[in-house]
Chains A and B, each alone.
Chain A
């Protein structure tokens, strides 16, 4: 401290050169990190934006932007995506967008309350083996989504899947001899036709909801547990003396006090589900008939099967802005960053 303040007071004598060097120093520390980010983050981003205005295709891969066949086509890719002008079957941009939102919202709407309820239940005083539960519920978070998707694909298999076997067992309990053969991932006819009128919600959607629930709640429980443990016990005691029943304590104390932690977690969960590429891709591949396609799986398909790099880039840019807008709106509405902690 002493040396710092001495340097500070003697600074004016050093003149302009010393001052400039001092001012530059913090930026020099940032250079390595910035250089890495420039290569692996900013360059691909900018490159993507550039090719989204071109008709970039397989033939342009070799020479990239210098390719003689590359044409600037302005906003055509964007317009084609939005108006359905792409050479792709079963594709309507707004239907996929609506489904994508619905998929993300319904996931969060299930994961967050379930995560909180499980956290509250596990936070009960005197519960045995608390630490074991907490270790177990982190498991789904650390299992790779590819593995999760494969396992759940098998569970929902029409012939041999555990889900149909389980349902068969259940109906047998009620005296039926029927063998259940639900085509979970292949059936196109929606089981509840009026849900999401903008496009059908196939059985695969519900199967994926179940599988993704398994994948999604532990994270929310993890966050909620941390938040719960930071609520002082005496608030509940004060409330119980004030006359609050357990449900009233939950609504009046637990919910508002874990909100600052849960809102960012919910937004994170939303963006995660919104762009949950590997799980959706490996579970259904967007099918049947693109009915569980989300924006990112579609973008990938544009490249992998159709080789429309330019269109895919434009698509990714649209996804980016959709996610950005969503994040800004939710963040603003809920004031996610506000906490009740002391200023």
Chain B
């Protein structure tokens, strides 16, 4: 059991900076998810921690120990690979026992640990099989089992679910969460899938272009994204962005997108007053745009003219793809909504739940 610290970590491949001055402290027993688009450096960051890549600058600590020059095998970590990396010539049992055998652990202890891990993961009846005889989900479990038996201080997961089908992915997601509760060990998990990040993490580190964008709990990331990238990355469908100007109109602060105008509630005006007459990005999540006919009670609604372009019926909700002048945006509305393609209508923006970002710096204005 140990904490993990990235202290000003930089990793370069030639001139390309994969990880740029990363600072993260992961608490003991925490489930930290590194999330970001492909090629953002999250996997490199994890591989640096595993010792599979040498860092160019900074320090990595596991517990209190600086591990910059420690070999992977001596870092007391276990890693689950995206490809599972099971040894194809060994049985499931031998795959799981491999690390322990190399460490010359007593045979009975190995047997006990492998059987325990197999029991936890429900793969007891597969122990004599070879990896090629297993399904994707079963291989995934074996890969996790191989990590468990080692009883490491830190578990590393590199996109472990991305090769599974959607249904299995949801199931394994829950199982990995359960495993974390059961093992009470530090988990560091890399994924490009923000849903995985949101559902499993204690805290999420959003990374883009090698830089840490925001490190916070899933709910805080969702509710108050620090910048435009995080706002657009977390949440599905993604947050709607409208390039706009903040203006004073009759003493009220208003957002003018060029196609529609919405006034900012008086209680939030103060925060944005300094950006009057500046270019901003007005942002609002799809679920905070409502069909005016099915308005939830007690919200501060502002009506906006829009034309319905596409509808997607999901059963429990409807996604409306709307056009307002040059802006297209998505609303997630009540399933009873009667709005159909081509309808000219008014949708209601919940003005208690919007975000405004500086157009230049892309940082949230708070």
Are A240 and B52 within 8 A (Cβ)? yes
Are A257 and B88 within 8 A (Cβ)? yes
Are A242 and B73 within 8 A (Cβ)? yes
Q: Which of A243, A257, A340 contacts B73 (CB 8 A)?
A: A243
Q: Given the known A-B contacts A243-B103, A244-B73, are A234 and B81 also in contact in the complex, defined by CB atoms under 8 Å?
A: yes
User: Distance (Å) between the CB of B68 and the closest chain A CB?
Assistant: 16
Give the complex CA separation of A241 and B133 in angstroms.
Answer: 25
Instruction: Say if the beta carbon of A238 comes within 8 Å of chain B.
Output: yes
Q: Mark A197-215, 1 if CB is under 8 A from B, else 0.
A: 0000000000000000000
Instruction: Say if the beta carbon of B271 comes within 8 Å of chain A.
Output: no
Instruction: Say if the beta carbon of A252 comes within 8 Å of chain B.
Output: yes
Are B50 and A340 within 8 A (Cβ)? no
Q: Which residue of B lies closest to A248 (CB)?
A: B102
Are B83 and A340 within 8 A (Cβ)? no
Are A244 and B89 within 8 A (Cβ)? no
Give the complex CA separation of A239 and B146 in angstroms.
Answer: 11
Give the complex CA separation of A243 and B77 in angstroms.
Answer: 10
Instruction: Say if the beta carbon of B78 comes within 8 Å of chain A.
Output: yes
Pair count A-B, CB < 8 A: 64
Q: Which of B52, B71, B78, B89 contacts A257 (CB 8 A)?
A: B89
- Starting from the known contacts A234-B85, A257-B88, 11 additional A-B residue pairs (CB-CB under 8 Å) come to A232-B85, A234-B81, A235-B87, A238-B79, A240-B72, A241-B50, A241-B78, A242-B73, A243-B73, A256-B89, A340-B88
Are A235 and B85 within 8 A (Cβ)? yes
Q: Which of B128-151 touch A at CB < 8 Å?
A: 130, 132-133, 146, 150
Q: Which of B31-53 touch A at CB < 8 Å?
A: 50-52
Instruction: Say if the beta carbon of B235 comes within 8 Å of chain A.
Output: no
Are A234 and B83 within 8 A (Cβ)? yes
Complex interface: chain A residues within 8 A of B88 (CB): 257, 340-341
Of residues A237, A241, A253, A256, which shows the largest number of chain B Cβ atoms within 10 Å of its Cβ?
Answer: A241
Complex interface: chain B residues within 8 A of A257 (CB): 88-89
Q: Which of A320-343 touch B at CB < 8 Å?
A: 340-343
Complex interface: chain A residues within 8 A of B130 (CB): 340
Complex interface: chain A residues within 8 A of B89 (CB): 256-257, 340
Complex interface: chain B residues within 8 A of A232 (CB): 83, 85
Are B85 and A343 within 8 A (Cβ)? no
Are A241 and B132 within 8 A (Cβ)? no
Q: Mark B78-100, 1 if CB is under 8 A from A, else 0.
A: 11010101011100000000110
Q: Which residue of A lies closest to B147 (CB)?
A: A241
Give the complex CA separation of A252 and B52 in angstroms.
Answer: 19
Give the complex CA separation of A68 and B366 in angstroms.
Answer: 114
Are B132 and A238 within 8 A (Cβ)? no
User: Distance (Å) between the CB of A90 and the closest chain B CB?
Assistant: 48
Q: Which of B77, B83, B87 contacts A241 (CB 8 A)?
A: B77
Are A340 and B81 within 8 A (Cβ)? no
A selection of 12 A-B contacts at a CB cut-off of 8 Å is A237-B79, A238-B85, A240-B72, A241-B50, A241-B51, A242-B150, A244-B98, A252-B98, A253-B87, A257-B89, A340-B132, A342-B132
Give the complex CA separation of A253 and B87 in angstroms.
Answer: 8
Q: Which of A223-278 touch B at CB < 8 Å?
A: 232, 234-235, 237-244, 248, 252-253, 256-257
User: Distance (Å) between the CB of A244 and the closest chain B CB?
Assistant: 6
Of residues B79, B89, B99, which shows the largest number of chain A Cβ atoms within 10 Å of its Cβ?
Answer: B89
Give the complex CA separation of A253 and B90 in angstroms.
Answer: 10
User: Distance (Å) between the CB of A223 and the closest chain B CB?
Assistant: 18
Complex interface: chain A residues within 8 A of B98 (CB): 239, 242, 244, 252
Are A240 and B71 within 8 A (Cβ)? yes
Give the complex CA separation of A257 and B87 in angstroms.
Answer: 9
Complex interface: chain B residues within 8 A of A238 (CB): 79, 81, 85, 87, 146
Q: Mark B57-75, 1 if CB is under 8 A from A, else 0.
A: 0000000000000011101
